[in-house]
C-alpha cells in the first residue's frame, strides 16, 4: 500500500478544501480516523500547511468529486510515492535525546485521545517509563504547566504504522472486553429473571385425636 506525499499535510488540505468524510481522508492518508477528526478540530497537526494532492499530481479532481458523491468510495492515488515502513526492531524503543523532552506531550495526547491504550503499550511505543506516564496522567509531572497533547507521529517519536498497530490492538482488546461484559450481564439478567424454585413441602405432622 502506498501513501501520498506528506500524508498529514495532504489530510489538512483535503479537510479544508473538500467534502470528503473523515473515514475517506483517513484511509487515503494512512491515518487513524480520530487523528483526522483532531486535525479538523485544530488539536492535531497544528501548524502544518496543507499540501494540494491535485497540484502535485497525486489525485485528480474527478477522483475527489467521485468520492464526495459516494461516501463509501476510496480515493485512488495516481502516483504511489511513500511506501509504508516495515517494523524492523523488537524490544525497548530508543528515542533520540532531542525528542525525549517531547515525550510528555505525546503521552498526554495518547491519554486524551486514546485512553483505551494500556500503559505498557505507551511505554513501548514512546520509549518511556510507567512512572513518567503516571505523573502525566496524575498532573504531577515537573513540567505539567507546559505539557500540551501532541501527536507522537508529528513529533517524530514513532511512525504512523507503529501508532496504528498499537491503536488497532487496543481497539480489539476493548471490543473483546465489551463482549465479555455483555455476556456476563446477560448471564446475570437471566439468573435474576429465572423463576424461583418452589420450596419443598414440609412433611405432614401426626394428627391429634
> What's the whole-number mean pLDDT along residues 142-167?
86
Distance CA 134, CA 114 (A): 15
Q: Of 183, 163, 181, give the one whose Cα is nearest residue 171.
A: 163
Q: pTM of the prediction?
A: 0.51
Residue 144 has pLDDT above 80, yes or no: yes
Sign of the alpha-carbon dihedral angle for 98, 86, 152, 129: negative
Sign of the alpha-carbon dihedral angle for 63, 64, 69, 74: positive
The residue that leads in pLDDT, 208 or 127, is: 127
Q: What is the pLDDT of residues 81-101, one digit of tens each?
A: 444 444 455 555 555 555 678
* Three-class secondary structure assignment of the chain: CEECCCHHHHHHHHHHHCCCCHHHHHHHHCCCHHHHHHHHCCCCCCCCCCCCCCCCCCCCHHHHHHHHHCCCCCCCCCCCCEECCCCCCCCCCCCCHHHHCCHHHHHHHHHHHCCCCCHHHHHHHHCCCHHHHHHHHCCCCCCHHHCCCCCHHHHCCCCHHHHHHHHHHHHHHHHHHHHHHHHHHHHHHHHHHCCCCCCCCCCCCCCCC
Contact in structure between 61 and 34 (CB atoms under 8 Å) = no
Q: Is 141 left (phi over 0), alpha (psi -120 to 50) or beta?
A: beta
Q: Of 47, 59, 45, give the one whose Cα is nearest residue 4.
A: 59
Q: Is 45 left (phi over 0), alpha (psi -120 to 50) or beta?
A: left
Q: Where are the domains of the chain?
A: 2-83, 85-193
Q: What is the pLDDT of residues 16-43, one digit of tens each?
A: 999 999 999 999 998 899 989 988 988 8
Cα angle 131, 134, 140 (rounded to 5 degrees) comes to 100
Q: What is the pLDDT of residues 176-193, one digit of tens each?
A: 888 888 888 888 888 777
Average predicted confidence (pLDDT) for the chain? 82
Residue 133 has pLDDT above 70, yes or no: yes
Amino acid at each position: 500500500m502506498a501513501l501520498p506525499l506528506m500524508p498529514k499535510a495532504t489530510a489538512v488540505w483535503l479537510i479544508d478544501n473538500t467534502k470528503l468524510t473523515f473515514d475517506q481522508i483517513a484511509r487515503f492518508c494512512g491515518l487513524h480516523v480520530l487523528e483526522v477528526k483532531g486535525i479538523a478540530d485544530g488539536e492535531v497537526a497544528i501548524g502544518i500547511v496543507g499540501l494540494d494532492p491535485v497540484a502535485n499530481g497525486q489525485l485528480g479532481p474527478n477522483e475527489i468529486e467521485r468520492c464526495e458523491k459516494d461516501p463509501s468510495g476510496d480515493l485512488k492515488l495516481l502516483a504511489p510515492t511513500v511506501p509504508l515502513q516495515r517494523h524492523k526492531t523488537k524490544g525497548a524503543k530508543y528515542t533520540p535525546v532531542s525528542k525525549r523532552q517531547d515525550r510528555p506531550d505525546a503521552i498526554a495526547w495518547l491519554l486524551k485521545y486514546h485512553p483505551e491504550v494500556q500503559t505498557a503499550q505507551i511505554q513501548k511505543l514512546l520509549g518511556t517509563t510507567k512512572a513518567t506516564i503516571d505523573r502525566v496522567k496524575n498532573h504531577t509531572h515537573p513540567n505539567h504547566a507546559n505539557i500540551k497533547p501532541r501527536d507522537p507521529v508529528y513529533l517524530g517519536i514513532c511512525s504512523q504504522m507503529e501508532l496504528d498497530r498499537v491503536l488497532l490492538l487496543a481497539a480489539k482488546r476493548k471490543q473483546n472486553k465489551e463482549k465479555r461484559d455483555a455476556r456476563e450481564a446477560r448471564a446475570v439478567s437471566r439468573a435474576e429473571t429465572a423463576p424461583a424454585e418452589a420450596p419443598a413441602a414440609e412433611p405432614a405432622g401426626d394428627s391429634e385425636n
